[in-house]
Structure 1
Amino acid sequence: MEREDFINKVLNSVDGIAKVTPNDSIFLKIEKRIEETKISLKTIWLVAASIVVLISFNIMLLNGKSNSNESEIASLEHSINKNNQLYK
């Protein structure tokens, strides 16, 4: 019962809070500043091109390492101690 009273007390603690309304002049200034902030088409193309370059570079690296990675894993398997003893 105590737990339910505590939960109800916490949930009802926000009942008296009134919604805040912004000042009209401040709201208009914020909207004006948002409208003024424009991103140029050149910037969008540069960002898109850099993303394409990064993705293609990552794909090339992943494809190049897949063949050499198998030989590295094989050599690592041969060099690992087979008895799993950490201390002698």
Structure 2
Amino acid sequence: GTSTKLDLSTAKFDNLDDKYFKRVRPAKKNAEKDIFDSKKEKTPLSDKRREVQRSTDAVVLNAIKASADRRLLRQYLKSRFQLWNGVLPHKLKF
């Protein structure tokens, strides 16, 4: 796990609950159609979800900018996660 902490105590995430993260499943279609011909349709994001995501991102980005080690933290968040042979993910410490 990570030991890096950001101060998000002033942020309000009241609108983010389990119901918000629940996936919306599309209605089932007739089984008579050929299942290989149909392409999966992506569920479009609602404007409300986009606005909530933008506000959440703004709070987190402001917390990163206020952090003492913001340059290192930005590089860490931009980096790609990789494992090599012999590296045990449960023993990693950030």
TM-score by length of 2: 0.29
Higher relative contact order (CA 8 A, sep 6+): 2
Q: Tell which structure's C-alpha radius of gyration is larger.
A: 1
- The structure with the largest helix share of the pair is 1
TM-score by length of 1: 0.31
